Amino acid sequence: MIQSPLLNNVKGFVAGHWAGARSGKTLAVINPATGEHLADVPDMAGAETTAAVEAAAEALRSPVAAEKRRHWLTETARLLLDNRQELARIITSEQGKPLKESVVEVEYSAGFFSFFAAQLDHLAPEPLPNRIRQMQWTVHRRPAGVVGLITPWNFPLAMLAKKLAPAMAAGCAVVTKPADLTPLTAIALWNLLEQLDVPAGWLNLVIGRPAPIGEVLCSHPAVRLISFTGSTAVGKHLIQATAPYVKRLALELGGNAPYIVLNDADVNVAADALVANKFRCAGQTCVCANRIYVQRDVEQSFVEAVSERVRRLKVGNGMEPQVDIGPLINRAAFEKVDRHVKDAMERGSRRTAGEFSPIPQGDWGAFYSPTVLAGAHAGMLLSREETFGPVIAIETFDTEEEAVAKANGTPFGLAAYVFMRDGERAERFIQQLQFGHVGLNTGTGPAPEAPFGGMKQSGFGREGGVEGLHEFCEVQTVVTP
């Protein structure tokens, strides 16, 4: 069992009080690197979620001034940074990523609370400059209302911070549902939030399986917005389930990111950036490169550069020093990655880095050796599906037009990365890409200060930037004589 001063209460939080499941049922949280039983958390369901929604709706009857909300945000950022090492230990224990990555995740998360604390002036009433029809027109941004926040297991703090910080800034009351595989990080955050003077009902946390909790969030009339990060399949379900109630959605869904290296790129820069981008969180990120397209002129040098770097990576328990890659989240994740690699090799790909990966024991210990495959092509599973694991599969192209067509040849449009030296060529190339986030000569992902989100079946809405704050607002225009 995990012991932590940030886990004095291992429950949900409803209407200002720690709460278990009314059924008494619990869910086990397992360390994916060791199989250790970390904790039992409540398996909350519809009744607890309904109570949380009603508490949030009641809290909204007493709005909180902007300066008080700013104080909450600033203090939350401080609490995260003051407790970064312990929070990182909890993240690594339940998610598996290396401890050094977990520390960065905590710092990244704190950045959202600091950023949105500085953005509240963007919510001030905005008088239109000219009198229209001899009237004064003023645009107000009101809180969206009760919002449901549903977060995934790969970044259990960062994905929560991206949603919770702007919701708090906008003056929304929240009902948060973290992933049932990694709920301890959210519980630890709520233990910290108890130190703030937040009135009961504003910040609710429900722990449990997705279906019964999601059903209430989708159908309860008091919930006006759901912000979700996860698979496109679940996103489509949320669209269907909320359609009868005409609810707003903010969806960050699946990715299938292209990583394009043209013949005038700096091969070493592109190789370094790819390894840093691809193997974060063992490749279990929606923005990491999944389809690697390299112009034929530089294929050999690029494959050699990447393979040499990948062979130096250390796989193991994220708590151990010098580990670069932790386990996959569970056996199902391992089996998907293994299936993709076997399919690619059966279809003509060759392995240039990576060793045979042992089958995991039970549902844990799912370590997969970081792998580089050359000779990939569109007929392979890993070209069509998001692998979500530590595998680099390299495919060649000849012309810019071919590269653009390959990159856009997916229903997804979350992130893309392009490497080339020619600035005019880059501008021409990037404007043809159908992706919400594009890195030019960098594998860098989102930042709190910049809007981030997808195109096509990667969702809609933005997190980060002023746009991320406005996602949690309703616009109201007031006209006066």
DSSP 8-state code for residue 212? H
pLDDT, one tens digit per residue, over 277-312 is 999 999 999 999 999 999 999 999 999 999 999 999
Would you call 343 helix, strand, or coil by DSSP? helix
Q: How many angstroms separate the Cα of 74 from the Cα of each of 69, 174, 205, 273?
A: 9, 18, 21, 33
Closest by CA position to 225, among listed 176, 159, 165:
176
The mean per-residue pLDDT over the stretch 146-152 comes to: 98
| CB contact burial 157-170 (16+ within 10 A = b; e otherwise) | bbbbbbbbbbbbbb
Reply yes or no on whether the pLDDT at 360 is more than 90: no
Q: In the beta sheet, which residues pair with residue 392?
A: 372
Mean pLDDT confidence for 126-138:
94
Give the span between the Cα atoms of 225 and 106, in whole angstroms: 26
247-280, pLDDT tens digit by residue? Answer: 999 999 999 999 999 999 999 999 999 999 999 9
Dist. CA 136–CA 127, nearest whole Å: 7
Mean per-residue pLDDT for 71-80?
98
CA quadruple 104, 389, 256, 152: dihedral sign: negative
Asked whether 274 and 292 are in contact (CB, 8 A), the reply is yes
Give 373-424 pLDDT, tens digit per residue.
999 999 999 999 999 999 999 999 999 999 999 999 999 999 999 999 999 9
Among all residues, which ones are annotated catalytic?
A: 252, 286
- Predicted pLDDT at 358: 81
Q: In 10 A of CB 152, how many CB atoms?
A: 22
What number of other Cβ atoms are within 10 A of residue 285's Cβ? 22
Task: Report the range out of 129-133, 223-227, 363-367 with the highest average pLDDT.
Answer: 223-227
Tokens of 124: 């001030």
| pTM, full prediction | 0.97
Q: Is the pLDDT reported for residue 356 higher than 90? A: no
pLDDT at 362 over 90: no
pLDDT band at 192 (very low <50, low <70, confident <90, very high): very high
Q: How confident is the model at residue 334 (pLDDT cuts 50, 70, 90)?
A: very high
Alpha helices (H) in 255-394, listed in sequence order: 267-278, 299-310, 331-346, 381-384
In this prediction, residue 259 carries a pLDDT of 98
User: In whole angstroms, what is the distance from residue 33 CA to residue 30 CA?
Assistant: 9
